[in-house]
Structure 1
Amino acid sequence: MILPYKGFGNEKEVFLVGRVLRDRGIGFSAFEDSRFRNFRKMYKRFMTWEIPNVTIKATLDGQEWLATTDDEGYFEFEIKNHSFPKIDNSWQEVKLELLDEVIPNQGIVQATARVFVPTKLVEYGVISDIDDTIVPTGATRVWEMLKTTFFGNAHSRIPFEGVSAFYQALEKGTDGKENNPMFYVSSSPWNLYDFLLELMDIHQIPKGPLMLRDLGLSREQFIAGSHFDHKLTQVEKIFRLVSGIPFILIGDSGQHDAEIYLQVIKKHPGRVKVIYIRDVAENKRNMITQIATQIRELGVELMLVTDTISAAKDALNRGWIRQEDVLEIIKEKKDHAES
């Protein structure tokens, strides 16, 4: 199977990554799935059978590009001088096809990759962490995180109250047209890509490219470097390919999001509107406060928030989202509390 990851870019260049793997038939999860069934599916995600050194063809509006998979089965396209149809739609499609025969009589192996190219209606972009920012994972407590990852599924993993409605509000901005690009940068491995897509779909979190990490040895190094370096590199890649617009950055206090975003602001002045950090680690509040002071001196506010509504009200006061969408966030939180 070809597993394409959502790509992104601009009118001149598009970045698209994917992987060629043996299809292990993982499929979608169900609310009633047992812990054993969840574990078996997650085991399959990590025990992958990669297909190295095969050629993938990308086709877009009659143009073709070729890429070869590496030792871990990954392929990467940097599509330049493309010709996306000139329509008012941020999401475009690229056709992918495996050109090599891996097994006898395999038939045609194809997939469709979705690529985000912002329209002129964009007000700002959003870059968000996932673990302990969108959904509780216990990322700072290894054993708890492993139990949550391997024995739960996309139905049982519940996002923080109001996150879905807040991210929908940010995507819509002030014109209500869902044109603002959403990016998700996480230290989770690419093995969880389909799981995270299903989680976001079930819980109605706006779609967008996911920038995850490689567990393999061949692309960079084991687990593709540090959490800090990975996130900083991916944010800078987004800034380069989606230029000319400011970004809202969202993270949590459990790991190093505040420190990473401080470096982003230093290296890219004028690109960040505000930073929202979810307060999930009481022992790091003093450190976050110190970082917030440094960021404020650079002309940007870091807001340490205890819940989603606090961030939403701040965004409303700054004129970035609509009043009716904030009311929907409050309603979502109330419904969650009553359920």
Structure 2
Amino acid sequence: MHRARERGQVEAVEAYAGYGSTEWVRVFGRVHMVPVAVRRAGRRRFPTLRIGKRRKERSVRGWRGFTRVAVPHAQGFVRIGEVEHPFEADRGGIIDQHIPATLPPGWNTIEFVSADGEVSEAKIFIVGDEQRVGIVSDIDDTVMVTSLPRPLLAAWNTFVLDEHARSAVPGMNVLYDRLIDRFGHDTTPVLYLSTGSWNVAPTLARFLGRNLYPFGPLLLTDWGPTPQRLFRSGTEHKRENLRRLHEEFPHMQWLLIGDDGQHDEEIFGEFAEEHPDAVVGVAIRQLSNTESVLAGARASSSARWRARTNVPWVHAPNGAILMQKLAQLGLLDDDPSAAELVDLSKTLGDRRIARPFPPELAE
């Protein structure tokens, strides 16, 4: 960090989307050293999740997110309206903070201000008191195909290839668009719960935006050690965040969307067993035989959890069939035909997207 200072770099917050209720917010960010930002409208601003000015510059290889100098225990403040709240990052420079605030339902904008005065904006989705259903979605192999055959290739995809090297699961963006329409496109929270590191948040946000998924906060993790282990547990990260969402929104039910490649069925099943009234349904994307082998998938445990919980489960290899099955459960308004689903998949880019990612994230 001292050398970064000598090169003229300053502390700045890479701000991520957060969420909250009408009484509090949960904000996310990462503090690291960057070249002095340009002044915009008389104030220095660090571009949120923006790396480079052109696609060629932003076709960034993932390792850059891991080589930037993080600022351990950095301090600054979060500005919400006219009120400023102090923050302190953890030893990895990650900000994950619960702050009392009064904001209206829907999307709001807050500001992070670093110790060096760099300002960055973050979008915060406020869940209204009347909202009853939300969506929690996995990312890898649920909305994004990775097909990683071994740890070496997984590392290659994480550290070297950019988001254009990954492909979207067919029909899932249409499914999410329809779900948002069903539950309220301005009011439904969509949270992407992944075991991925915060270092790749910009890459994931660009992927989701470019593939027309509804805008929503990412719930990622830090790769740093814990007192119990060298690396954090991804499965425990998911369990903890599901429990936290239930505690934060006890009046809500969640549609849980994942895949049968690793632990989603077990994690969702445990949560549904503990809190059956908090789960409106579970949708599992079935991996192909090749994807299952490459992902090291275990035998499906959904039958066991279906028998132990009074929660509807649906399984399908893509978003189109999941859409049909969810419609049969009454979680969508109608049951579109196969031809209609194909047409929806082809025309989604030309129709109204329920809640698009900001344009700068989708480029």
Q: TM-score range by the shorter chain?
A: 0.7 to 0.9
Match of 2:62 among 42, 52, 74: 42
| Match in the other structure for 1:241 | 248
Q: Counterpart of 1:27? A: 52
**Which of 134, 145, 170 is the equivalent residue of 2:154?**
145
Give 2:169's aligned residue: 160
Partner residue in 2 for 1:213: 221
Q: Is the 8 A contact 2:174 2:319 kept in 1?
A: no
Query: What CA distance in whole angstroms lies between the structure 2 residues aligned with 1:322 and 1:95?
Result: 38
> In the alignment, what sits opposite 1:71?
91
Which residues in structure 2 correspond to 1:170-249 (within 5 Å)? 170-173=179-182, 177-217=185-225, 222-223=230-231, 225-249=232-256
Contact 1:9 1:242 in 2 (8 A): no
Deviates more, 1:321-330 or 1:191-200: 321-330
3-state SS in 2 of match to 1:171: helix
Identity of aligned residues (%): 22
Structure 2 counterpart of 1:158, which letter? S
Number of residues of Structure 1 aligned to a counterpart in Structure 2: 317
Deviations 1:285-339 (A, max 9, x none): 9942x53243344211222212211110112222322449887643244679xxx
Counterpart of 1:254 (choices 257, 261, 264) is 261
Matched to 1:292, the amino acid is: A
What is the 5 A alignment of 1:258-297? 258-280=265-287, 282=289, 287-288=299-300, 290-297=301-308
Aligned with 2:331 (options 305, 311, 320): 320
User: What amino acid maps onto 1:235 in structure 2?
Assistant: L
Correspondence for 1:105: none
Q: How far, CA to CA, are the matches of 2:287 and 2:91 in structure 1?
A: 38
Instruction: Please give the per-residue CA displacement for 1:74-106, whole angstroms capped at 9, x wherever unaligned.
Output: 2232112x221x4xx5111222111x34xxxxx
Change (3 A) 1:257 1:63: same
Shift of 1:50: 0.9
Are the counterparts in 1 of residues 112 and 121 from structure 2 also a CA contact under 8 Å? yes
Report the CA distance shift for 1:70/1:268 in structure 2 as closer, same or farther (over 3 A): same
Tell me if structure 1 keeps the 8 A contact 2:266–2:305.
no
- How far apart, CA to CA, are the structure 2 residues paired with 1:320 and 1:2? 39
Distance 1:286 1:220 in 2: 25
| Residues 166, 325 of structure 1: 8 Å contact kept | no
- Secondary structure of 1:229 counterpart: helix
| Residue in structure 2 matched with residue 331 of structure 1 by the alignment | 343
Give the residue type in structure 2 aligned to 1:94: I
- Partner of residue 113 from structure 2, selected from 97, 114, 127: 97
**Cα distance in structure 2, aligned partners of 1:210 and 1:299:** 28
What TM-score, normalized by structure 1, do the two folds share? 0.83
SS of match in other structure, 1:164: helix
- Cα distance in 2 between the residues matched to 1:29 and 1:123: 40
Equivalent-residue separation in structure 1 for 2:108 and 2:325 (angstroms): 33
What code does the residue aligned with 2:255 have?
I
Task: Name structure 2 gaps, 5 residues minimum.
Answer: 1-11, 36-49, 349-363
Q: What amino acid does structure 2 have at the position aligned with 1:305?
A: A
What's the RMSD between the two structures over aligned residues?
2.9
Deviation at 1:281, TM superposition (A): 5.9
Over 3 Å counting, the alpha-carbon distance change for 1:294 and 1:154 in structure 2 is closer
**Residues in 2 aligned to 1:285 and 1:57: alpha-carbon distance in whole angstroms:** 43
Does the CA contact (< 8 Å) of 2:276 and 2:311 recur in 1? no
In structure 2, what is the Cα distance between the partners aligned to 1:26 and 1:41? Answer: 11
For 2:150, give the aligned amino acid: R
Flag the 1:237–1:92 CA change in 2: closer, same or farther, 3 A. Answer: same
- Per-residue deviation, residues 123-143 of structure 1 (Å, max 9, x unmatched): 511111100010111256323
Greater shift, 327-336 or 294-303, is seen at 327-336
The verdict on how the C-alpha distance between 1:22 and 1:150 changes in structure 2, with shifts beyond 3 A counting, is same
Instruction: Point out where structure 1 has 5 or more consecutive residues left out of the alignment.
Output: 102-107
